[in-house]
Amino acid sequence: MNAEEQTLVSNIRLGSRPAFERLLDLYERKVYNLAFRMLGRREDAEDAAQEALLEVYRGIGGFRGRSSLGTWIHAVARNVCLEFLRKRRETVPLEAELVPANPASNPGSSAERGELRGRLEAAIGELPDPQREVVVMHEMHGMKYREIAEAVGCPVGTVKSRLFHAMENLRAMLADYVVEGAQDEM
């Protein structure tokens, strides 16, 4: 935990409303985006994000700074979302934007990109929960292996393995779309 995070956490623990508002400014959107990608429904994501931020507020006293504040908040939000999924007893396909639009490409191919994006979202939704989770964290949120390991409570090697198997599964599910020689890019 860096000095800025330490000050922020200390001030929140002392009951500073501006400090908590600063925390919301920094993390509210990230928590919502994670919730939306995990839950797939705007209403559920809003509820889960609000619940996660309440959990952060309630649990800030127990935060020991062994990881960054962002990693801890991510873990809290992830756990809240997993509880939402358990209560629903279902998995909803993630709405991922893994296929970036390339403005330099042929404008006629935007329909193809849209189709691929839809297939990719569906394929990610079919991944086992542990694999989907690391894909979301790594590919969509740009988290490093170490950060993911801290957030999910497993070794870095397990994160790498889950990501490897997730990408292999995605390649198999999207075999019609994988360009020969581009497998390392997926």
Per the listing, tokens 């931020």 go with 53
Question: Looking at residue 179, what is its pLDDT?
Answer: 47
Our CA angle for 47, 50, 52, nearest 5°, is: 105
Question: Looking at residue 124, what is its pLDDT?
Answer: 85
Same topology between domain 3-88 and domain 109-185? no
Highest mean pLDDT among 16-20, 63-67, 167-171: 16-20
Question: Looking at residue 97, what is its pLDDT?
Answer: 30
Our CA angle for 173, 175, 180, nearest 5°, is: 145
For the segment 169-174, the average pLDDT, to the nearest whole number, is 84
175 or 56: which carries more pLDDT confidence? 56
CATH of region 109-185: 1.10.10.10
For the segment 152-167, the average pLDDT, to the nearest whole number, is 88
139-156 confidence digits (pLDDT tens): 777 788 888 888 889 998
- Cα gap 40→85, rounded to integer Å: 10
pTM of the full predicted structure? 0.53
All structural domains of the chain with their residue ranges: 3-88, 109-185
> What fold characterizes domain 3-88?
Rna Polymerase Sigma Factor; Chain: A (1.10.1740)
Q: What is the mean pLDDT of the chain?
A: 79
- Cα gap 67→78, rounded to integer Å: 15
Highest mean pLDDT among 37-46, 81-90, 140-149, 171-180: 37-46
Residue 77: CB atoms within 10 Å: 26
For the segment 72-87, the average pLDDT, to the nearest whole number, is 87
